[in-house]
Structure formats: C-alpha cells, structure tokens
Amino acid sequence: MTSPKEYMNPYVAGALLGLLLTLTIFITGRGLGASGAMKSATVATMQTIAPSHTKEATFYKDYTVEHPEGALKNWLVFEVIGVVIGAFLSGLLSRRLSFVLEHGPRTTRAVRVVGALFGGALFGFGAQLGRGCTSGAALSGMAVLSTGGIITMLAIFGGAYAFAYFFRKFWV
C-alpha cells in the first residue's frame, strides 16, 4: 500500500472551483449547493413513512407546492449524487479511501460521534433557517454578489470563530 498523494494546491483548487461555479451559473442560472439535497432526502423519507402527517404540516405542504414533481426530482439531489461519485473517484485515484472515524488528539471516539451528530444537526437546522449552507448561500451567493449570501457567509465564519474557543479540546 502506497501512501496517499498530496492535496492539490489550494489556489489552483480554488480557481477550478470558481470556474466550475461560473460555468454552473452560465449553464443553469443557479449556483452549487448541498444542504438542499439533504432537505429533499428528509422530506422524501417523511413522505414515505408518515404520509398523513406530511399532507398536514405547513413545511411539507409548502415544499410540495414548490417541488410539484416530487422531492427527489431536484437539481441538487442529482448534483450531490455527482459529488459522491466525484469525491469517491478522487479518493480512489489519490489512494485516500478508508473507513475511519477521525477525531482530535485529545478526544475519544465517543465524543467525536456525539459531536458529529450534534454538529450535523445544528448545521442542518441552520441551513434551513439561513436558506442555504456554505455552498448554496455563502459561495454561490458571493459569486452573484447577493447581499443575503454574503451576510450568511460572514455569519457562518464569524460564528465558527466565536465558538471555536469553547470546542478547542475537540480538535487541538
């Protein structure tokens, strides 16, 4: 087993990301995203396991009105399937595929499990409230110079810096 390849130069990766985003906006008129696909998957799951509930609750009703073709027939769902394929191929070619639970040097696996679940829940919730995540609101919002997108970006990174001190034992 050979060691993993080095990561790409961050500025080169950033430039490629920017060109991809420009191309995406030119072709589709919309930016990249991620959390929207998680929303689609969650809504689709709820529609399957609790159909009577989703016909009543406002959130699901609004969602059905906005997505008449079904929760999973969504641009971001296809895009995120692509992300999984692309990341997998990249990991395969750079020899980085492995089942591991990464955690900071001073934490246990149990803390990391709880942290990942809890952090995910916060991010999932925040992305719904803030109408998009780091990709959909912050990055794509910056590309089209959307005021809301840039405010969300500042809030995400500002919030992360503000809270970082309290969770330093998780990571360093």
Partner 1 sequence: MGPLVPDIIGPNLNFVVALFIGIAFGWILEQAGFSTSKKLVGLFYGYDFTVLRVFFTGGIVAMAGVITLQHFGLLDINLTYINPTFIWSALVGGLIMGLGFVVGGFCPGTSVCAAAIGKIDAILFIAGSALGVLLFAEGYPLFEGLYKAGNWGNPQVFESTGLSKPLFAFLLTTMALLAFWAVSLIEARVRGEKPAYVHLSRTSIAVAGVGVLIAFSAFVLPSKKDALLGEAAASASTQSRARVMSLDEFAFRVLDADPRLQIIDFRPAKESGSGRLPKSVSFTVDNLFEKEPARLLGRRHVISVFVASDEATERRMAGIAEGLGYKHIHVLEGGLNAFNTEILHFDSTKVPHTRQEIDTYRFRNRARRTLPALIAANTFSGPVKKTIKRAVGGC
CB of 105 to partner 1, least distance (A): 10
Separation of alpha carbons 171 and 45, rounded Å: 33
Contact 6, 12 (CB under 8 A): no
CB of 108 to partner 1, least distance (A): 13
Q: Take residue 139 and report the two structure tokens written for it.
A: 């990055």
Residue with token string 């997505």: 67
Binding mask 55-94 for partner 1 (x = CB under 8 A): --xxxx------------x-xx-xxxxxxxxxxxxxx--x
Binding flag, residue 1, partner 1 (CB under 8 A): no
Residue with token string 């040097």: 105
Contact 28, 120 (CB under 8 A): no
Contact 32, 21 (CB under 8 A): yes
Nearest to 30 by CA among 77, 72, 82, 75: 75
CB of 144 to partner 1, least distance (A): 5
CB of 51 to partner 1, least distance (A): 14
CB count within 10 Å of CB 94 equals 13
| Residue placing its CB nearer to partner 1 in the complex, 14 or 51 | 14
CB of 19 to partner 1, least distance (A): 6
Binding mask 96-135 for partner 1 (x = CB under 8 A): xxxxxxxxx-------xx-xxxxxxxxxxxxxxxxxxxxx
Separation of alpha carbons 66 and 60, rounded Å: 10
Binding to partner 1 (CB under 8 A) within 15-44 occurs at: 15-39, 41-43
How many binding residues for partner 1 (CB under 8 A)?
A: 126
Binding to partner 1 (CB under 8 A) within 134-163 occurs at: 134-163
